Structure 1
Amino acid sequence: MEKEEILGHLRSAKAAHIKWVQKAKLLINGIDINEDAIPIDSTECKFGKWFYSDGQILNSLSNNPLECMQSIEGLHCSLHDKYLQIFRIYFSEDKKVGFFAKLFGLKRKKVLSEEETKNAKHHYAEIENISKDLLDEINRLERRLVAVSEEKIKALV
């Protein structure tokens, strides 16, 4: 893989993360979002898919400390943990649902209480803070990747 290709994949993963956070914000702001539109599992979102596949090559960059990738992974998992709290507020298992609802799983609560709304907004504020830290780490990783020569990148692949 060429350096520019790796950079492109990193930047696409970063953009996917930003979109994931924006979808969570839409949900918080009352826009009807399909429960599958915002993956809960950190390995199922586009950023996670990149991180746990192509992103792992960046562990070998000579100027990228191991702590960087560990920090990115920890922050990314924390985001999904916080989103799980929001998901549980907005989507619930309904004991009195029909066959198709049971077949397809959860359904969105129609009306949230004031307390549920407050909790969801609190969790989203935490997501924003964690996302800022994650983007800072990703940007540091990107700068390190830019600083590495093409020859060293080719040696990694």
Structure 2
Amino acid sequence: MPDIADRETVLLQIRKAKTAHLRWRAYAMALSSGYAVEEGQLPLQPTECQFGCWYYGAGQELKNLPAFKAIEAPHQRLHKIYSDIFQQLFDQPEPPFWKKLLGSTTTLTTAQDVEARIDELTACSREMLENLEALEKQIASEML
């Protein structure tokens, strides 16, 4: 654990990482809803997003704290779920001619599947944020 002088810096890093995660989630939700998002704003790998860069980089200074350890599993699941959503939306084979003619590019099942996966993604994000808040509280309490 860093000394008291460095804890403020660590808290600031955690808050920046949390903001990066919230931004990533907003982009994921927008893309899943059909809005255009620039390439690179939504890395599929957990080590490539801004949050992951902090978590697997400078954040490793906190790796012995239980709240820090508790963040990894939901973060990994979040990226797996998003990867599944991405594949459902963008790696689909060419739709049948009649669907093109009617202007439909997704089936009801796919739309329902994507919506269910978005709910899972939101739940993982919520779990991550709760663990981040627990981590912040632990570090802040040790400053007193």
- Root-mean-square deviation (CA, aligned residues, Å) is 2.2
- Identity rate, percent: 29
TM normalised by structure 2 equals 0.81
Q: Per the alignment, in what secondary structure is the counterpart of residue 124 of structure 1? A: helix
Query: Which 5+ residue runs of structure 2 have no aligned equivalent?
Result: 95-103
Residue 45 of structure 2 aligns to a residue in which SS?
coil
Q: Distance in 1 between matches of 2:23 and 2:106?
A: 24
- Which amino acid counterpart does residue 132 of structure 2 have in structure 1? I
| Partners of 1:23 and 1:114 in 2: CA distance | 23
What residue in structure 2 maps to residue 92 of structure 1?
A: 91
Does 1:148 pair with 2:142? yes
Amino acid at match of 2:135: L
Contact residue 40 and residue 84 of structure 1 kept, 8 A? yes
- Unpaired stretches in structure 1, ≥5 consecutive residues: 96-109, 151-157
2:40 paired with 1:36: yes
Amino acid at match of 1:32: A
Q: CA deviation at 1:34?
A: 3.6
In structure 2, the partner of 1:4 is 8
Provide TM-score, normalisation by structure 1. Answer: 0.75
The 2-side partners of 1:35 and 1:149 are apart by 40
Q: Give deviations 1:116-141, integer Å, cap 9, x for gaps.
A: 22111111100111111111000000
SS at match of 1:2: helix
